Every structure is written in C-alpha cells, then in structure tokens.
Chain A
Amino acid sequence: MEDRTMSKLQLITKGLIKENPTFVLILGMCPTLATTTSAMNGMGMGFATLFVLVLSNMAISAAAPYIPDKVRIPSYIVIIAAFVTILQFIMQAYTPAMYETLGLFIPLIVVNCIVLGRAEAFANKNSVIDSACDGLGIGLGFTLALTVLGLIREIIGSGSAFGFKFISGDGILVFVLAPGAFLALGYLIVLFRKLTAKK
C-alpha cells in the first residue's frame, strides 16, 4: 500500500539503495556472480536486465487484468521470454562483442528472479507508468551493483578499470575466477549493510 503514495521519483530511487536487488533483496545471484569479471561486462549485463525489466514490467502491468490468476506465472514467463528474445536480436545486431561475452546469461535473463519477482510483487497491481518507474529503479540498482562488483573484481583481479590498465603485470587472478566472485560479493554486502545501518 505504501507504494501507492510514492512519487515517481521515489519509485526510481528506492531501487538504488533501499531496495537494491543485489545488496538488500539478494535476488538474481547467478548473473551477478557470473558476468562481473570486469566492470564493463557487469554494466552490460545490468543494462540488458534493465531493458527487459522495464519493458516486461510495462507489458505485464497492462496485461495483468486480462490474465486469469491460475495461469499468471507461465504467462509472465512467456512475456518476459519474448522481450529477452527481442533483446537477443538487438544485442546481436548492435553489440555483438558484448553478446558473445555475456553468452548464455542473456537468454538466462528469462529465469532471473528479479524480473519475475517485480512482475509478481509490483507490476501486476500498479499502473503502467508506475511499473515502468519501478522497473527503471530496480534495473538501475542492479546495474549499479553489478558495475561496482565488476569494478572491484577487475581492479584487484587484473589491475585495470573499465579496460584501462593502470598496474603492469597480472593482478590477483583468483578475483576474476569463481571464488573471487563469491568473496567480493560477500564483503560488498557486508560493507553495504555497515554503510546503510549508520543512516
């Protein structure tokens, strides 16, 4: 009910800190851990999810009154899958290199819990515009989290930031590999909790 009284701006900003999907809600862990080997990849994945999130939120909020309650989850998944397919075409055409790098994780946006979670928790009972704002906010929060995580892993793991190398030689390679992803995210959540608890 609280959501109803929020302004559009609040809807967008709440996704960044208060309801950050990665650090607070802890959703969508698979792409978060897998694609953040560098800041650029993290940001690419974040924007790809943002795209699907905004459009699917709008479509679902528009279609929700006509979808019978019993089949709503499969219907939402089909709507989301349709937008993911559109995204795949767009990325293949305009950012083929990024599409190659993210690979499997682009089609896997379909089963990202954030997208389905927002559809179920917000879009199906709010207006189209509000849902778009909510999608934008959560999507930006996700992009921010992935970029920060990617940046940290890239700096420690390969001594560069957004592809610009500032340390000669190799970094601590393990941060680019699987264990570093878990470790960096774990400590980042702790840091986030510490910082937000003070306010």
Chain B
Amino acid sequence: MEYIIIIISAIFVNNILLSQFLGCCPFLGVSNKLSTAVGMSGAVCFVITLATLVTYLLQYYVLVPLHIEFMQTISFILVIAALVQMVEIVLKKVSPSLYQALGIFLPLITTNCAVLGVALIVVTKEFTFGGEPHMLNLAESVVYAFATSVGFGVAMILFAGLREQLALNKVPKAFQGIPIALITASILALAFMGFSGLV
C-alpha cells in the first residue's frame, strides 16, 4: 500500500517538473518533438533510478560512517557523471539499438538537475508516506526515484504533444518559442494541481 502511495504521489501530486521545477532545461529544450521527448524520458528514467540507488548506498555506507557528509554535493555529481558515462559505454555494447535511441540524450543528463535533485531529496528529506515522518529506506528510495522519473516522462510527453499542436498555430512574434511554451506549461501545471490532496 505504501508503495502505491509513493508512486501516485511522485507521478501526479508532486510531479517533479510541474510542481518541483527540477529538470526544466530538457523540459523546455527538447520538448519540441514527441519522439525526442520519449527518448529523453526513457534515458532520464533509467539514469535517475540507477543514480539514486548508487548515491543512496554511497551516502549511508561511505559518507555517513566516515563523517564526511559535506562532500555530498561533490561526490554525488561525480558519481552521476561517471554513471552516465558508464551507462553510455554499456548500452553501446549490450544494446546498440537502445543506444541509438537514447544516445544523444545521455551526455545531457549529467547536468539535468532532476537527477542530482532526486538523489539529494532521497537522502535529506523526511517523507510522511504511511504515517510517521521517516527517511526512506533503500527499496522505498528506488521506488520513489523510479516513480518520479515516470512522472517526468508523463509531463514531458504530454507537453511535447501540446507543443507539436502549438507549432501549427500562428503565435504573435514576441511570444514565439519559449514564452508560449512557458504559458502552456503554466496551464499544464494548473491541470496537475487538480491532483493535490489526492494522497
């Protein structure tokens, strides 16, 4: 039951893009076409889940026992950068077709704040899923990370669909490009606010 609450909360109620503003750069940058949005979401989903697993272990088995929590930011970003690089190499060997599909998006993910953001949220924030406020354990963290990245995908793909339609319309000159995208995102965020109070 608790896992279902985590999943619904992370996908809809606290959507990472539309209510927490993490990962806005790819959200506005590569959401012009539906196909690129799908590719980006897939790559992000993969990396967020993996990165959260690794950084969680790093936090509780290396940083905390050695009392060097202040190294959190530096070590997390290094781990994420290395991980992205590794994923790229492994994918190239194991599944060239998936590599082809995700390839160009992977290097961009290192500087996607959603990845570092989720890794940091998991080890610093207390959650109130299912009663008492508590820090997430490993399984919950991974589920939370996965659900969050699915939420990223949902928002990203919805938004790309909207922008594809938008491209067919005549937009005033000053609004072209990012401004109209932001206003569209605002309406989408308004729609997602309807989910608040669900969990």
Contact = CB atoms under 8 A, between A and B. Distances in A.
Interface of A: 26-27, 29-30, 33-34, 73-74, 77-78, 81-82, 84-85, 88-89, 104, 107-108, 110-113, 116, 174, 177-183, 185-187, 189-190, 193-194, 197
B66 to A, nearest CB: 16
B28 interface: yes
Contact of A74 (B24, B78, B113, B182): B78
Given A85-B71, A179-B186, A197-B174, 16 more contacts: A29-B25, A30-B21, A30-B23, A78-B74, A81-B74, A82-B74, A108-B116, A108-B120, A113-B25, A113-B111, A116-B111, A182-B182, A182-B189, A189-B182, A193-B174, A193-B179
B190 interface: yes
Interface residues of B, number: 42
B182 A183 contact: yes
Contact of A111 (B74, B112, B180, B190): B112
A186 B187 contact: no
A116 B190 CA distance: 32
B190 A84 contact: no
A189 B193 contact: no
Given A30-B23, A30-B113, A183-B186, A84 B180 contact: no
B183 A186 contact: yes
10 interchain residue pairs of minimum CB distance: A186-B182, A182-B186, A34-B21, A29-B24, A183-B186, A179-B189, A81-B74, A186-B183, A179-B190, A33-B21
Interface in B23-79: 23-25, 27-28, 70-74, 77-78
B20 interface: yes
B193 A78 contact: no
Interface in B168-190: 174-175, 178-183, 185-187, 189-190
A83 B182 CA distance: 31
B73 A107 contact: yes
Nearest to B191: A179
A194 B78 contact: no
Contact of B179 (A74, A187, A197): A187
Nearest to A33: B21
Contact of B72 (A34, A107, A178, A187): A107
B144 to A, nearest CB: 15
B128 interface: no
Nearest to B119: A107
B182 A185 contact: yes
Interface string B95-119: 0000000000000001111001100
B18 interface: yes
A138 to B, nearest CB: 17
B186 A190 contact: no
A179 B120 CA distance: 24
A33 B19 CA distance: 10
B120 to A, nearest CB: 6
Interface centre among B28, B77, B110, B113 (most CB of A within 10 A): B113
B116 A178 contact: no
